[in-house]
């Protein structure tokens, strides 16, 4: 069964880039006679707002997008994430980290030449707390010990069907260690960080095809690794190109000018928007 999803975060208005992403997934599901699910990625409770969630439903409905089954809200599944985290902890693949953002920046102040400082999650963690065995009570967050994780369960490759990166992508521990590092799995204020949550969500909702923007391509090796560690199957991945503004800059949520609701208020039709994003 072909099943895909659209997973916006309710932290601002949906813009043209979201419409394109939702249409890509929705149209693919309909063309395949499969299912299209809607998920609300609201784990960041400091930024998620009910009115943005309502706006998502309104905007998608106006765009002509229909979703199958109930909407899944990440905040309803905190126990599932906690259980997955416990599984990884029990295998010794995680550690508690007490570093603040500032500590990490200071530790990374003298970068080694040729070693990347930023990965898909921002600054690559220098590993300060990895061997300290800190109690969880002192921790700001729980991190994946990437070196151990890769030794235990790094798959050889994953498959991508998006146009610009089409093909099989080999996964190598050295690359993950250098360019990703010990990613955050959970924070004190957030039961699961993005990578752990999406992997669990996609598995529990039996997503066969993940269709999302190219900006998340670099996070995919982390997802494939976590799937393997948790004994979950890996879906097909398709990362579509991003909608850019006239100056070639990626659209952001704060870019209110491109909000779908704004176009709608200005009298444009969903078909006008489809044309604008090249569909």
> Applying CB under 6 A, which of residues 4, 8, 43, 184 lies at the interface with ligand GLU?
8
Tally of CB atoms within 10 A around 174? 8
> Applying CB under 6 A, which of residues 4, 9, 203, 228 lies at the interface with ligand GLU?
9
Closest CA to 210 of 250, 83, 201, 59: 201
E strand or H helix at 170: strand 167-170
| Residue whose CB is less far from ligand GLU, 12 or 181 | 12
> Applying CB under 6 A, which of residues 108, 134, 152, 216 lies at the interface with ligand GLU?
216
Closest approach, Cβ 9 to ligand GLU, in A, equals 4
Choose the stretch contacting ligand GLU; rule: CB under 6 A; options: 7-15, 82-90, 230-238, 269-277.
7-15
Q: How many residues bind ligand GLU (CB under 6 A)?
A: 7
Q: Is 212 in the site for ligand GLU (CB under 6 A)?
A: yes
> Applying CB under 6 A, which of residues 37, 198, 207, 251 lies at the interface with ligand GLU?
198
Which strand ranges, in their side-by-side order, compose the sheet holding 35-40?
3-6, 35-40, 72-73
CA 27 to chain centre: 21
Round to whole Å and give the CA distance between 183 and 195: 9
The angle that helices 78-90 and 194-204 make with each other, rounded to 10 degrees, is 110
> Applying CB under 6 A, which of residues 3, 4, 7, 120 lies at the interface with ligand GLU?
7
Instruction: Give the strand pairing for 72-73 and 35-40.
Output: parallel
Q: Is 160 in the site for ligand GLU (CB under 6 A)?
A: no
Enumerate binding residues for ligand GLU (CB under 6 A). Answer: 7-9, 41, 198, 212, 216
């Amino acid at each position: 069964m072909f099943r895909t999803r659209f997973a916006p975060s309710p932290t601002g208005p949906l813009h043209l880039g979201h419409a394109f992403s939702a249409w890509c997934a929705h149209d693919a599901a309909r063309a395949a006679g499969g299912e299209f699910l809607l998920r609300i990625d609201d784990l960041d409770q400091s930024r998620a707002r009910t009115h943005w969630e309502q706006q998502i439903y309104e905007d998608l409905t106006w765009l002509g997008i229909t979703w199958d089954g109930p909407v899944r809200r990440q905040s309803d599944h905190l126990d599932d994430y906690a259980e997955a985290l416990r599984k990884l902890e029990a295998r010794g693949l995680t550690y508690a980290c007490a570093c603040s953002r500032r500590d990490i920046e200071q530790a990374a102040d003298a970068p080694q030449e040729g070693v990347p400082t930023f990965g898909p999650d921002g600054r690559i963690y220098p590993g300060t707390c990895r061997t300290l065995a800190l109690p969880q009570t002192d921790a700001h967050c729980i991190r994946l010990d990437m070196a151990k994780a890769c030794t235990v369960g790094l798959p050889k490759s994953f498959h991508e069907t998006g146009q610009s990166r089409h093909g099989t992508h080999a996964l190598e521990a050295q690359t993950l260690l250098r360019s990703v590092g010990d990613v955050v799995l959970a924070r004190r204020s957030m039961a699961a960080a993005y990578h752990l949550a999406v992997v669990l969500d996609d598995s529990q909702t039996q997503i066969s095809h993940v269709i999302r923007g190219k900006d998340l391509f670099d996070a995919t090796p982390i997802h494939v690794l976590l799937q393997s560690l948790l004994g979950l199957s890996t879906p097909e991945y398709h990362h579509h190109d991003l909608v850019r503004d006239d100056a070639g800059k990626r659209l952001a949520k704060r870019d209110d000018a491109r909000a779908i609701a704004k176009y709608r208020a200005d009298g444009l039709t969903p078909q006008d928007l489809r044309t604008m994003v090249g569909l």
